[in-house]
Structure 1
Amino acid sequence: MTGWLRRKFAPGSLAGNIGAHGVSQAVNLAVQFLSIAVLSRVWGLETYGTWLILFTLPAYLAMGDFGFVTAAANDMTAAVAQDRKRDAARSFVALGRGMMLVGPASFLIAWALVAGPLAPLVALADPAAGGRAALVVMVLVAFAIAGQQLAIAQAGMRAVGAYSTGIYVITALTAVETASVLIAVVAGGGLLEAAAIYCAGHVAGAILLRVMLLRRAPWLADGSPGALRGEVARLAAPALAMAVVPLGYALALQGPVAVLGALAGAAAVPAFTVVRTMSRAAVQLTTLVSVAAGPNFTAASARDERERQAELVALSLGTALVVLVPAAIALSVVGPELVRWWTGGTVTPSVWLVAALAAAMLFNGLWVPLSNLLMAVNRQQRFSYAFVALGLVNLAVVALLVPSLGALAAALGAAALDAAMALWLALQARRLGMLDTEAVRRAPHRLAALAGRITGRRP
């Protein structure tokens, strides 16, 4: 039994990647649940709300790599798959040196903003932070910079076939950090103590993961000096396209909420957001597979293994269809009553709103896996700019319809945007040879074969 588990869930295997992401998602859900329950009760809603606002800073600063970390991770994975270790090492060293410049620069810019034009805003958090809000912000900035170094180490782990090992380390780090913060808060700690624990945890995690990486692949540290400028120029296009992706998601997810609240009032927002939250739970389950398959798809593409690529596309899309078709039907049928029960009758969405978001869920579950696989081979230019453009058009249409349709306008806009993206991604995937008639026809067989490998049973 132990030998079977090692074979099936070995680092770098598809089953191993899926298992690692499954554990990570479960831990993250538990962390969110416990954090909300403990911090809101111990700190109180006002202090906890201030913490949530300040804790968004690392997420924004994490985008300070301008997409280069992910683009370089894909490039290194492809290079190793083609046995071009010197090229992978050159990219890794250049990436590390580049981020060593970006990190301190980000810290200095943040310090100048906090001490200057943003000082009045930061001061508003002083009551919750014991008069040390500026220090809390700077510690969180350091936390974000450490997170960039952690991401670089994980990029290397991905390249050398230890992707799932890195995910497990990061997941364990998340659990330890959160447990430490909750213990400190219950013992009387405030925002500064919590920020310091997160920062120290990320620094230790980045060091640990880098040591693990270089023990596994010491040759990664032997990249050619002076390669930074050439690597930046070579990866600039895919990196910029990668950096645009979060903007597209912001327009698609936060944009309609802002428009709906501004034009129809805050009371119109919950009907849309509660149902969308329910629908996206199923989507997250399906995207787990395509994200986990990313490193394998990168390697298969680098080796021009067409059968393997088709197998991974079939797994990603097949999983989406198997999960989301019944989920969409169930949401359309019982969704309104389920929302009423969940919210104690406070939110009562219409049948049409639920049906529109069920359709959006189905379309979203089809295009997001394809987009994840395109990003795995640095082809994000194929959809990222279109994503932003369609998101802007969608917001304009939603704004026109909200006065007459209310929350239903946002739901219809979501369905239209996801349908348009599904069509666009299908066209791009077809042009790249990721989708063909034969692959679609054999998808059920491929899915059954993969399930047999993971479970140990032959289909």
Structure 2
Amino acid sequence: MATGRELMGRSLDRATTLRLGRTVSAQAYGQIVTVVVQIALVPLLLHAWGPGTYGAWLLLSAVPFYLTFSDFGFTYVAKNAMVMAVSAGQPDAATRVFHSIFALLCVAAPLLLGLSALIIIAVDVPDVLGADAVTPTTARATVLLLVVNVLLYQFFLLVCAGIRSENRPASEAIWAASARLLEGVAVAIAAVAGGGLVAAAAAMVGARLLALLGAYRWLRRLSGWLRLGVRAADRETLEGLWRPAIAYMLLPLGQALLIQAPVLVVGGALGAVGTVTFATSRTITRMGMAAINMINNSVTAEYAALAGSGDHQRAGRLLRVQAGVTLCIILVYAVTVLVAAPVVLPLLTHGAVAAAYPFLLLLVGSVAAEMIWSSLFTPIAAVNRHGTATVIFLIVAAATVALAGPLTERFGLNGTAAALLLAHAAMIPVTLLAGNYRAR
């Protein structure tokens, strides 16, 4: 079987192949950083703070991260728009996007911070979140600092859009992963040095600010024509971005429905044992999505650059390469899961969960279908033409949740998995039509 590198080498020019290779490597680095930080911080923070304080940290830090979407998807569509503009030889258009989003963030960030501060002061944060291991003052200060960190993250995303604008997705991914690593190290140092939750949150803010300044300095050195400001900001540019931005926000909403709601459905219909079986089995079967997401993220900027330059022929070749790599990954994934799950599930759960059929087969099928449609969705989203597909996805996700209840009542876990398979299979023709792939 041909490897992904061999497939790329046969169909793409050397420069594109090398660029994609660097981007895939950078995405892999990001995955490693995420896993290492998540795993390493657990025992370290437990040792430094104890279970009570660490539990409070988990509860308090969960809330501000919802503000990660506070720009309503504008930085994502800005990346695509800027890459297309630069590739089309229109740096002035890219600057207008950059300045317009910066102006939006400069207005939205203080408003969100002020509103967050009022809410934090008005409510009893430890009582609302169940974080009774810390004082109200500590809880409020921690949450407020975490909100500041998330708002700084929006500006960091915008700088990353500038880094990507000249089709440098590998550099963007390295900066994003390094910033996550820096945050993790900062929290670890604060905790080991004897600091509490406020010190850890302040360390995160300092790390994010340092990463923001470092990334911006790097951007200015390599792309001297692009700088933060509001001189070129205009309302027309924002009006052209808001529809794809809001439409892109529907994607995580639909994903949240399909990931979280089935757990509640299974819990209500089958109880704790069914919930554990479903959640554990799904965790194992969804591990293959990491590889597909890595590939999808690696080719997004390439599709935007090719669209901006009008090179539809190379875009078609890239699509065929992506499809070939995706099918190879799906085949390896399906065989691996079906062979390993009967052994891994009992080991992970100390014998509490065993592989069940046809439930496991249906779950694998649903993930394979998700891999296919998410790959087809990538070229559409890369050029900000994803509006119809995301609206349909949200509708499909809502309908699936409604269907999962009666199917689970009648067929047990097989019914839940079948509902998920139907949802993701339905999105394959949707993305095929949205991308007009027959024309390629």
Look up the match of 1:192: 198
Contact 1:184 1:194 in 2 (8 A): yes
Write out per-residue CA displacement over residues 150-187 of structure 1, whole angstroms, 9 at most, x where no aligned residue.
Answer: 00000111112332212212222222221232232233
Specify whether residues 27 and 435 from structure 1 end up closer, same or farther in structure 2 by C-alpha distance, changes over 3 A only: farther
Q: Cα offset for 1:285?
A: 0.7
Look up the match of 1:86: 92
Measure the CA separation in 2 of the matches of 1:417 and 1:118: 40
More displaced 10-residue stretch of structure 1: 374-383 or 184-193? 184-193
Q: Cα offset for 1:403?
A: 2.2
Q: CA RMSD in A?
A: 2.4
Contact 1:21 1:288 in 2 (8 A): yes
**Which residue, 394, 401, 407 being the options, matches 2:407?**
401
Q: Secondary structure at the match of 1:219?
A: coil
Contact 1:11 1:162 in 2 (8 A): no
Q: Aligned letter for 1:371?
A: F
Measure the CA separation in 1 of the matches of 2:46 and 2:267: 25
Contact 1:98 1:228 in 2 (8 A): no
Look up the match of 1:114: 120
Measure the CA separation in 2 of the matches of 1:242 and 1:351: 36
Q: Secondary structure at the match of 1:378?
A: coil
More displaced 10-residue stretch of structure 1: 227-236 or 17-26? 227-236
User: What's the TM-score, normalizing by structure 1?
Assistant: 0.87
Q: Aligned letter for 1:136?
A: T
Measure the CA separation in 2 of the matches of 1:134 and 1:385: 37
Contact 2:80 2:382 in 1 (8 A): yes
Q: Cα offset for 1:133?
A: 0.1
Q: Aligned letter for 1:67?
A: G
Measure the CA separation in 2 of the matches of 1:41 and 1:311: 52
Q: Secondary structure at the match of 1:220?
A: coil
The gaps in structure 1 that reach 5 residues or longer are 1-6, 440-459
Identity of aligned residues (%): 26
Contact 1:21 1:167 in 2 (8 A): yes
Contact 1:310 1:435 in 2 (8 A): no
Specify whether residues 106 and 34 from structure 1 end up closer, same or farther in structure 2 by C-alpha distance, changes over 3 A only: same
The answer to whether residue 239 in structure 2 is matched with residue 233 in structure 1 is: yes
Measure the CA separation in 1 of the matches of 2:72 and 2:154: 11
Q: Cα offset for 1:12?
A: 9.0
Measure the CA separation in 2 of the matches of 1:243 and 1:268: 31
Q: Secondary structure at the match of 1:221?
A: coil
Specify whether residues 304 and 249 from structure 1 end up closer, same or farther in structure 2 by C-alpha distance, changes over 3 A only: same
Q: Cα offset for 1:114?
A: 1.1
Look up the match of 1:158: 164
Look up the match of 1:67: 73
**Which residue, 27, 34, 40 being the options, matches 1:21?**
27
Q: Cα offset for 1:38?
A: 2.1
**Which residue, 318, 326, 350 being the options, matches 2:324?**
318
Measure the CA separation in 1 of the matches of 2:17 and 2:204: 27
User: What's the TM-score, normalizing by structure 2?
Assistant: 0.91
More displaced 10-residue stretch of structure 1: 170-179 or 141-150? 170-179
Q: Secondary structure at the match of 2:70?
A: helix
The answer to whether residue 262 in structure 2 is matched with residue 287 in structure 1 is: no
Measure the CA separation in 2 of the matches of 1:10 and 1:128: 52
Aligned length: 428
The answer to whether residue 418 in structure 2 is matched with residue 412 in structure 1 is: yes
Q: Cα offset for 1:268?
A: 1.7
Q: Cα offset for 1:8?
A: 7.7
Q: Aligned letter for 1:204?
A: L
Q: Aligned letter for 2:346?
A: R
Measure the CA separation in 2 of the matches of 1:229 and 1:80: 20
Measure the CA separation in 1 of the matches of 2:55 and 2:18: 40
Write out per-residue CA displacement over residues 35-57 of structure 1, whole angstroms, 9 at most, x where no aligned residue.
Answer: 22322344333332322222223
Q: Cα offset for 1:211?
A: 1.7
Specify whether residues 120 and 288 from structure 1 end up closer, same or farther in structure 2 by C-alpha distance, changes over 3 A only: closer
Look up the match of 1:300: 306
The answer to whether residue 214 in structure 2 is matched with residue 208 in structure 1 is: yes
Measure the CA separation in 1 of the matches of 2:31 and 2:325: 17
Q: Aligned letter for 2:174?
A: Y
Contact 1:20 1:164 in 2 (8 A): yes
Q: Cα offset for 1:120?
A: 6.4
The answer to whether residue 15 in structure 2 is matched with residue 48 in structure 1 is: no
Specify whether residues 268 and 44 from structure 1 end up closer, same or farther in structure 2 by C-alpha distance, changes over 3 A only: farther
Q: Cα offset for 1:74?
A: 0.8
Measure the CA separation in 2 of the matches of 1:124 and 1:274: 26
Measure the CA separation in 1 of the matches of 2:292 and 2:101: 31
Look up the match of 1:77: 83
Contact 1:12 1:163 in 2 (8 A): no
Contact 2:74 2:242 in 1 (8 A): yes
Q: Aligned letter for 1:257?
A: V
**Which residue, 411, 421, 428 being the options, matches 1:422?**
428
Look up the match of 2:344: 338
Look up the match of 1:446: none
Q: Cα offset for 1:269?
A: 1.4
More displaced 10-residue stretch of structure 1: 259-268 or 395-404? 259-268
Q: Cα offset for 1:130?
A: 7.8
